[in-house]
Each structure stands twice: as C-alpha cells, then as structure tokens.
Amino acid sequence: MIQVQAKSQQGARTIESESAPIAELCNLSKSYSRGRVKALDGVNLSIEEGEIFGLIGPNGSGKTTMIGCLLGLLRPDSGSVLIKGKSPEYFSVHQLIGYMPERPDFEHWMSGRQFLEYHHELAGKDPRTRKADIEEALEFVELDRGARERRLKTYSRGMLQRLNLAQLMLGKARLLLMDEPTLGLDPNGVAVVRRFIARAREEKVTAIINSHQLDEIERLCDRVAFIKHGKIRSIEKLKAEDFCDYILCVRFSANGKSDAEYQAKLPEIAAASNSQFQELKERNARFLVKDGKGAGQLIKDLVMSGILVEEAVPERSRLEQLFLNGGESDVG
C-alpha cells in the first residue's frame, strides 16, 4: 500500500490512499457572517469510487458549500475533507477533479475550440492527439458546428454547459463535481448529460451531482443525500430493488367493462401479489405495493387476469416524497 500524509484540523494522520474512499467528509462544519449563518453542521459522508451520488435539499441547505469544500475553494471551520486520502489543497488532487459550476463563466474572448485547446494543454494531455480529442468531445456533447469558432460571449447558457461537459471529457477527471448540470438545458441537452453520466459510470468515474431536478437525480444516481439546515437528514439508495411501500397508479383500458366490474376483481388480484388495493375511480386504480418486484408482479397478475393495463406509474417519485417528508427516510 502507498502511504500518504493528509493534514486535517485534527493534525496529520496517515491514510492508506489505495483503500480510502474517493471522497470523505469528517464532521465538516462551515459558517458565514462570523458564525451567524451555519451552512454545514457536522457533516459526515463517504463516497466510493465509481459511485454516482446525488445531493438534494431546499435552497440554502448547504449543498453548494459542500461542493466548494470538496474543491478546496472554501476552508471549513472544523472537520476535514479528503479526496483519495488527501486534502483538496494538494495539486495532485486538483488533477483528479473536474468541475461543472451552476453558472459557467468562461473566458468570453475565446472561441469554443480555443477554450478546449487551452484546457487540453492545461490538463497536460498529449498535443499530438489534441485535435482529435477536441473533435471527439465536441461531437459527443453535440455543440453546434456553427458555434465552435464563435466567441464564448455569444454562447447561450445551454451552449456553455455543453462546452463545460466537453472540457470535463478532455480532462479525464476521476471525480466530477456537477452543480445543477441539467438546469436550463433543452431536452437534447438533458439527453447529452445523461449519456455523459452513463459514460462516466462505465469508466468507473465518480460523480457528485447537486440538483433540484429530482427526476434526473432519481434516474442517474446510485445514492442520494438529503441535506437540510447544513445536516444530512438521510441517505437513500436508488436502485429499484431498494424501493419500498409506495403507491402505484394504474390506468386500465375501458375494454367494455365498468368500474364496478373492475372493482370486484382488484382486491383479490392485489392480495395475491402481496399488494393492497386502495381505490378505483374512472378506470384509474391506486395500489400500495411493497417494492419494485411487487409492482412488477401486480402488473403481471392484472394482465394475466384479462385486465388491459394502459399505464402504471408511482403516484409520486421517491425523492419528491423525501422532500415532502423533510428528509425522513421512511417514505412511502
């Protein structure tokens, strides 16, 4: 094992860097206005390499402050931040991190291509592959060909976000810190971000995503932390098999049947799949299901019983429910 010395406010300590989480926050606190505003209050968090991790919470909950501490741009009042066992202040740590700010503000006098050429060189990449690397990145993020030679001051917010993604691709960072990556993007731009995260996952790159777009967080992330008043209220797994006790809304085809005919069958079908029938109104039924597997079995049983299912969706997304519950993890 390679041993490195990492400094924290508790003093120097030895970390086995190869076994350390890629990002670790230990009792992290940060305040503003001479301590009157507490942005982070004793946060403990460990994120493993290759994980796609989401940060959600109300405005002012401390999410952006946490990213600032991970970047080494903000100095905590107490506690420590470690990236692969080292302080974010180390230059070697800077080489591991890629950053996508909420509001990109790049060198306005550069063209899009010049900006990427500059950052390719800044990242210390092989100049012989520069042209090909940049072309690949521009094609991946689908930045309009007519915009690539234009100055950045003419770019829209969405175009700057695509350029930022291209920059992250060139840097080949191992830890991506992304602040509202889909905000302001059109549907094509959102699809590009999804492909970018999917590629990061395939390459075992870690991403920490701060966003209010709950549907995107639920789609992209492995785990999510709900933060409120500077504290982590809960950490949730987002794999389908981890979902439990939620309302599934099912819409049926008319198929010449009345609600009364459906009503007679539904409780028995639900019970057979370990679910619970709640109500039926105008061919729209609500069921309490135990988990994703139970929902699948319920839908299968409905179809096998001759009921034509047009649509089946959760009544409310899990993260939306988490928000409404103030971060309590026993949602459903």
Question: What domains can be seen in the chain, in order of their start residue?
Answer: 10-237 (3.40.50.300), 240-324 (3.30.70.80)
Quote the CA–CA distance of 151 and 108 in Å, as a whole number: 6
In whole angstroms, give the CA distance from residue 137 to residue 140.
5
Residue 245: CB atoms within 10 A of its CB come to 13
Tokens of 298: 């319920």
pLDDT in tens, 103-134: 888 888 999 999 999 999 988 899 999 999 99
CB 80 within 8 A of CB 11: no
Give the model confidence (pLDDT) of 142-173 as tens digits: 999 999 999 999 999 889 999 999 999 999 99
Please give the average per-residue pLDDT across 262-269, as a whole number.
Answer: 87
Q: Which residues of 104-135 are buried (b: 16+ CB within 10 A; e: fewer)?
A: bebeeebbbbebbbebbeeeebeeeeeeebbe
pLDDT at residue number 329: 53
Whether the per-residue pLDDT at 240 is higher than 70: the answer is no
User: Is residue 4's pLDDT more than 50?
Assistant: no
CB 301 within 8 A of CB 272: yes
Rounded CA gap, 45 and 297, in Å? 36
150, 180 contact by CB (below 8 A):
no
AA letter at 315? E
